[in-house]
Amino acid sequence: MDIPKEVPKEVLVDDLILLGYRGSIAHNMYIPNSDPNSIDDIDIMGVFLAPENFYIGLEQHKRSQTKEISKEIDGVMWDCVYYELRKFVKLLLKGNPNVLSLLWIKPEHYLLVSEFGKMLLENRKSFLGKEALYNSFTGYANGQLKRMTHFKTKGYMGEKRKRLVEKYGYDTKNASHLIRLLLMGIELLKTGELKIFRDKDVNMLLDIKTGKWPLEEVKFLAEKLFKYTKEAHTKSILQNESDNSVAEKIVVSILTDYLKVGEIS
């Protein structure tokens, strides 16, 4: 795959503790821009630590906890999102599929892993709770289901993607997201493992993404998968709620070390 090996400095932020690919690259579904059917950007996600005064100074409520950068560099569009540590952990505890994915990507898809980042990775299962996961994965999937056919008023599409929607009569990228989210949710609820990199079903997902499935077939499969997700939730091996005490200890440990609490300069 035509994937850049380095991230341009122009799209990075300071004090990152974890950085990796997300989206189509992480999912094994990236179509490079050399392909006429490509509508994929290079997506990355990171976790950062804010300046000291965000945590203990007067300015702590005036800084954004999320930073988004979209920039085209050498013909490649980079779509980057960064979360401050506490914001990131709160999203993890809510079962956010996109944020959880950063803790479960393939080792080679990490671009930076600090000692603080390792703490998050080593405790990733503590953030899993079946109630939040079920609600979040099905909620995101329902959002994709709606956007799949209600796309005319949306402003997120480029011209190329709009042409593909007009060609196939529905948003095939949303459709592939819909099916992938449900498959991942079922697997996670059943096994306690979040499989980001798709291999066994990647051809099916790419066929959907490239418009080879009629809309009605996508809807039919989605309906079945929603039912399977509900069954997986009922029988899930996961704890009902995530372990907030572990999450709290991780955040306190990282920030205590970062801020050098107790040291006198």
Q: What is the full DSSP assignment across 35-81?
A: STT----EEEEEEE---HHHHHSTTTTSS-SEEEEEEEETTEEEEEE
CATH 1.10.357 fits domain 12-127:
no
What sign does the CA torsion over 57, 124, 222, 224 have? Answer: negative
Q: What does pLDDT average to over the chain?
A: 91
Q: What is the pLDDT of residue 1?
A: 44
Quickly list H helices, the chain.
23-26, 52-56, 85-93, 97-100, 115-122, 130-149, 159-168, 172-191, 202-209, 215-234, 244-259
Q: How far is CA 257 from CA 105, 106, 198, 263, in A?
A: 26, 28, 37, 10
Q: What is the pLDDT of residue 153?
A: 45
Question: pLDDT digits over 6-43, tens only?
Answer: 899 999 999 999 999 999 999 999 987 666 666 778 99
Instruction: Count the neighbouring beta carbons within 10 Å of the beta carbon of residue 12.
Output: 18
The domain segmentation of the chain, as residue ranges, is: 12-127, 131-234
Q: What is the mean pLDDT of residues 130-156?
A: 86
